[in-house]
């Protein structure tokens, strides 16, 4: 049975977001980004309770999960890292670090990186940055999420991939929908009906929250 609700969260401000420093490899959050995450922790609704936290394995999204949902993590909420949630472009800022590098990070101690494929940072094959491949990857994520049995799943990911994941395109399909701010979160439910239908719609409560 699909989760009752999926809440998607964009990461906090990272160093590449300031002045378009896209040459930075897998950047960390800025001090402002960390503050945004602490603010997220204070304002995120306590109901419905979170049953599972899922994050892209890039440093800024992991930090956002750890800082923004510290209380839930301390209460025992399970965490997972999903390579398919990595950002869509092939730029250094959107390319992840190897499992060996991540496992050495003091902040990340206790996280399980064993599920990350060896080639997840390659930006080749299923990880390629072309739009067709990214759409397929987003489709995989939707199916994966719909297969979960938890009631409320929170997913921390990236601005561009959010458009692919939510299928939130305007105009002829080549234009993004409403922009996601740093640490902005929106909630979705999967449509009923056909088993293979993985389309999701934003909840009325979520739409009202961001007016």
The pLDDT tens digits for 86-107 are 999 999 999 999 999 999 999 9
Tokens of 45: 């609704």
Segment 39-65 mean pLDDT: 97
Residue pair 184/11 in contact by the 8 Å Cβ criterion: no
Tokens of 175: 């234009």
Where do the DSSP E strands lie in 56-122?
Answer: 78-81
**How far is the C-alpha of 192 from the C-alpha of 81, rounded, in Å?**
27
* pTM of the complete model: 0.94
Q: Show the domains of the chain with their CATH numbers.
A: 5-209 (3.40.50.1240)
Residue among 63, 62, 55, 60 nearest 15 (CA): 60
């Amino acid at each position: 049975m699909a989760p009752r609700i999926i809440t998607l969260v964009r990461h906090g401000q990272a160093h590449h977001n300031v002045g378009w420093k896209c040459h930075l490899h897998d950047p960390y959050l800025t001090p402002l980004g960390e503050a945004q995450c602490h603010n997220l922790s204070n304002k995120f609704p306590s109901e419905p309770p979170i049953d599972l936290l899922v994050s892209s394995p890039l440093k800024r999204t992991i930090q956002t999960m750890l800082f923004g949902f510290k209380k839930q993590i301390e209460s025992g909420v399970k965490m997972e890292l999903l390579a398919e949630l990595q950002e869509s472009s092939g730029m250094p800022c959107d390319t992840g670090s190897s499992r060996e590098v991540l496992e050495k990070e003091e902040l990340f101690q206790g996280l399980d990186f064993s599920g990350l494929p060896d080639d997840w940072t390659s930006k080749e094959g299923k990880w390629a940055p072309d739009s067709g491949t990214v759409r397929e990857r987003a489709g995989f994520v939707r199916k994966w999420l719909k297969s979960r049995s938890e009631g409320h799943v929170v997913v921390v990911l990236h601005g561009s991939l959010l458009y692919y994941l939510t299928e939130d395109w305007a105009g002829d399909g080549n234009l993004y929908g409403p922009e996601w701010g740093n640490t902005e979160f929106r909630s979705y439910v999967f449509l009923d009906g056909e088993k293979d239908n993985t389309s999701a719609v934003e909840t009325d409560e979520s739409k009202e929250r961001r007016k």
